Amino acid sequence: MYHAEETKTVYGMVAEFSDPEEIVVAAHKAREAGYRKMDAYTPFPVHGLSEAIGFQDNLVPWLIFIGGLLGAGIGYGLQVYLNVVEYPMNVGGRPLVPWPAFLPVTFECTVLSAAFFAVFGAIIGMNGLPKPYHPIFNAPNFDLASQDRFFLCIESNDTQFDLEETRHFLQSLGPENVAEVES
Amino acid sequence: MQNHGAEKFIGGKQTFESITTKIESVVIDQRKKHPLEWYVVFGIAFGLLQVLMLAVTYLIVRGTGIWGINIPVGWGFAIINFVWWIGIGHAGTLISAILLLMRQQWRNSINRFAEAMTLFAVMCAGIFPLIHTGRPWVAYWLMPIGPNILGMWPQFRSPLVWDVFAVTTYITVSALFWFVGLIPDFGTMRDRAKPKWLKYLFGTLAMGWRGSNQHWFRYESAYLILAGLSTPLVLSVHTIVSFDFAISIVPGWHTTIFPPYFVAGAIYAGFAMVLLLAIPIRAWYGLKDLITMKHIDWMAKFMLGTGMVVFYGYLTEAFYGYYSGNKYEMFMIHNRMTGPYAPLYWSLIVCNGLTPQILWSQRMRHSIPVVFAVSVIVSIGMWLERFIIVVTSLHRDFMPSAWGMYTPTIWDWATFLGTIGLFTFLMFLFVRFVPMINIFEMKDLLHKQEGHAISGRKEHVVVEAASAHE
């Protein structure tokens, strides 16, 4: 690539939009133009954007499901272990493992564990948070990405990425502003 | 919004910018003068908080003998207040989780607020069983942390142990749900805060949130599942609270109506509390465009609906008391209606059964003083309900020789009023230091409300709204 030297220090090329509909259209066009490594930064979840970018991640529900199963196992297992192995107590010949009476605690443990997996596994863990530094924060006006501006970033590790061409392409989408982002 | 295409939940002419400013200026601009009412109520709440500290300290020094509890009535105020507070918390989860699953987007402007209410109400609730144990310093015996000093474990067949699990899970999940909703908003605050220390503070809390599409994708997916988990959780919590009563064989407690009737009562009381808080705060902080008359109206309808379920519960209780043919059950109902606590029972019927019927009228639902007054009455009524359930069942149960009377002492009242102080104190701090409305969800709502016609325009103008009639 002609600009091979510069691309090493460039994280990507970012276009700033002022409207959520525009960025969906822009992301569609970028994907049609063959760009794959890109991400959008928006103040709220814009529907249709993931489809436009082509991002899909079905791991979250599975992760939480596994968390729930784990909680159920631990909750029920704890009660069975304590009542059968650790401290068996014969109360008038009643069964040591009355499963209906063990359900409430099992259920609560299921929910607790699944919620932990959802928050610390999916929302924080899979998203790589906490992450105090990220190159995208170098983009001009990026503080508005949490307010009323919508950013589309084509990353420099995209095979099609080229400083001039990508800039030209993004400009053609009618954004407010196009800028390089240092890595 | 396929179903409510024409409905507007945000009033006035708003832009993404104006929504952010409206919500955030309260927090970010700490020098801005807060309304005088804020200081007055906060001051009173702070005073009551001191009363709570005093009451709890004295209780720990002297033991539960300072309360009015005695042998037939061992539960008294501690359990009444516990059930009352935890019930209030439930409306928060209903608003944030159940209405989310039902795609009721009007919840967006009250959910943060309601979740905070849940968190603080459950904190107040948690105090009571803890100090009611008499020896709160060994309260960890309730948890299966062992082998503890006695070398024994909790009795997992007991609803009181289920309760420990239910309430701790509930407060943990509520706190997680609340915090997760705040992460993107902390990001917004980080980007808007001027002083460096505030930037660092919100930056730390936001954990580097950058609004990436990938993040939002996982966020929404996990948030929806969290809501799906919280929904059965909230139902289970009050069901288990009602098991504390229903699993026993005390007349008036041993009934199968308890779980649904408790859950409905919880939501009823909770909506009353949301209204009690939302009505003054939306007026003081100029949030009438975000918490519109439509919200007040619909919350009032919720109150009416759940109130009817609760009233049906009272009727069923009375009917089955007689229909059972069991002389203890029949006597319990008779004693409730004509015994020494009868005035409280009939006040309860008036407060919870009759007063909310006024909300059938739309004119009444649109009158702020009426809705506020009904909310106060319902809150009192729901407290009376727990008093009636706990006290009338226990004070005259089986053997007349074991009967007794229960009269709360000044320390009972001090602890109860103290927790109201604690709750108000925390709520008012929350309003001042955390964005009290979910900013990103409001923007999402504004975007949906506008439809797709605004592409390319810089100003996002919303035409009309319910609150304009106010």
DSSP A137-149: GGSTTGGGGGTT-
**Is 80 exceeded by the pLDDT of residue B256?**
yes
**pLDDT score of B456:** 38
In this prediction the pTM is 0.88
**pLDDT score of B286:** 78
Mean pLDDT of B354-370: 91
Mean pLDDT of B68-80: 90
First to last CA, chain B: 24
**pLDDT score of B461:** 40
**pLDDT score of B237:** 92
Query: Which residues from A are below 8 Å from B225, CB to CB?
Result: 60-61, 64, 114, 118
In chain B, the largest separation of any two C-alpha atoms, in whole Å, equals 82
CA distance B40 to chain A (A): 34
**Is 60 exceeded by the pLDDT of residue B6?**
no
Q: Do the beta carbons of residue B225 and residue A64 sit within 8 Å?
A: yes
**pLDDT score of B1:** 35
- How far, CA to CA in Å, does B45 sit from each of A62, B49, B130, B419, B421? 45, 6, 22, 9, 4
**pLDDT score of B21:** 78
Query: Of all helices (H) and strands (E), which one includes residue A10?
Result: strand A10-17
Average pLDDT, chain A: 85
3-class DSSP string for chain B: CCCCCCCCCCCCCCCHHHHHHHHHHHHHCCCCCCCHHHHHHHHHHHHHHHHHHHHHHHHHHHCHHHCCCCCCCCCHHHHHHHHHHHHHHHHHHHHHHHHHHCCCHHHHHCHHHHHHHHHHHHHHHHHHHHHHCCCHHHHHHHCCCCCCCCCCCCCCCCHHHHHHHHHHHHHHHHHHHHHHHHHHHHHHHHHHCCCHHHHHHHHHHHCCCCCEHHHHHHHHHHHHHHHHHHHHHHHHHHHHHHHHHHCCCCCCCCCCCHHHHHHHHHHHHHHHHHHHHHHHHHHHCCCCCCCCHHHHHHHHHHHHHHHHHHHHHHHHHHHHHHHCCCHHHHHHHHHHHHCCCHHHHHHHHHHHHHHHHHHHCHHHHCCHHHHHHHHHHHHHHHHHHHHHHHHHHHHCCCCHHHCCCCCCCHHHHHHHHHHHHHHHHHHHHHHHHCCCCCHHHHHHHHHHHHCCCCCCCCCCCCCCCHHHHC
**Is 80 exceeded by the pLDDT of residue B22?**
no
Strands A177-182 and A150-155 turn out to be unpaired
Q: Please report, as a single letter, which amino acid is at residue B425.
A: F
CA distance A118 to chain B (A): 6
Sheet-wide strand order for A10-17? A38-41, A150-155, A10-17, A177-182
Assign A62 a pLDDT band (cuts: 50, 70, 90): very high
User: pLDDT tens, B287-320?
Assistant: 888 888 888 998 999 999 999 999 999 999 899 8
Which residue in A44, A98, A108 is closest to B157 by CB distance? A98
Supply the ipTM of this predicted assembly. Answer: 0.89
Which residue in A40, A112, A123 is closest to B169 by CB distance? A112
Other Cβ atoms closer than 10 A to B357: 14
Gap between the Cα atoms of A161 and A7, Å rounded: 8
CA distance A105 to chain B (A): 6
Average pLDDT, chain B: 85
Report helix, strand or coil for A66.
Answer: helix
Q: Please report, as a single letter, which amino acid is at residue B122.
A: V
Which residue in A41, A102, A118 is closest to B212 by CB distance? A41
CB contact, 8 Å: A163 with chain B? no
Q: Which residues contact A125 (CB under 8 A, 6 or more apart)?
A: none
Other Cβ atoms closer than 10 A to B33: 8
Gap between the Cα atoms of B311 and B305, Å rounded: 10
Phi and psi (nearest 5°) for A179?
A: -145, 155
Tokens linked to A37? 């490594």
**Nearest to residue B391, comparing CAs of B319, B326, B343, B320?**
B343
The DSSP symbol for A179 reads E
Strands A38-41 and A150-155 turn out to be antiparallel
**Is 50 exceeded by the pLDDT of residue B469?**
no
Residues 64-123 of A with CB under 8 A from B: 64, 68, 78-79, 82-83, 86-87, 98, 101-102, 104-105, 107-109, 111-112, 114-116, 118-119, 122-123
Q: Which residue from A minimizes the CA distance to B21?
A: A147
Mean pLDDT of A20-48: 85
Low-confidence winner among A141-145, B25-29, B299-303, B360-364 (lowest mean pLDDT): B25-29
Gap between the Cα atoms of B407 and B385, Å rounded: 16
**Is 50 exceeded by the pLDDT of residue B430?**
yes
Q: Is the peptide bond before B195 cis (omega within 30 degrees of 0)?
A: no
Which residue in A78, A112, A136 is closest to B172 by CB distance? A112
Burial of residue B469, with CB atoms counted within 10 A of its CB: 0-12 exposed, 13-18 middle, 19 or more buried: exposed
User: pLDDT tens, A74-132?
Assistant: 999 999 998 898 888 888 888 999 899 999 999 999 999 999 999 998 888 888 888 88
Residue of A14, A39, A105 to mutate, testing the B interface (most B Cβ within 10 Å of its Cβ): A105
Q: Name beta bridge partners: A10.
A: A182
Q: Name beta bridge partners: A153.
A: A14, A39
Q: What DSSP line would sit under A13-59, residue for residue?
A: EEEEES-HHHHHHHHHHHHHTT--SEEEE-SS--TTHHHHHT----H
The DSSP symbol for A136 reads G
What percentage of chain B reaches a pLDDT higher than 70? 92
Report helix, strand or coil for A172.
Answer: coil
**pLDDT score of A149:** 85
Mean pLDDT of B40-54: 94
Q: Which residue from B minimizes the CA distance to A134?
A: B208
Assign B148 a pLDDT band (cuts: 50, 70, 90): low
Q: Do the beta carbons of residue B127 and residue B56 sit within 8 Å?
A: yes
Q: Please report, as a single letter, which amino acid is at residue B260.
A: P
**Nearest to residue B122, comparing CAs of B62, B165, B172, B74?**
B172
Query: Which residues from B are below 8 Å from A25, CB to CB?
Result: 455
Mean pLDDT of B238-243: 91
**pLDDT score of B452:** 44
User: pLDDT tens, B188-206?
Assistant: 888 888 888 888 888 899 8
**Nearest to residue A106, comparing CAs of B86, B176, B169, B262?**
B169
Mean pLDDT of B166-185: 91
Assign B146 a pLDDT band (cuts: 50, 70, 90): low
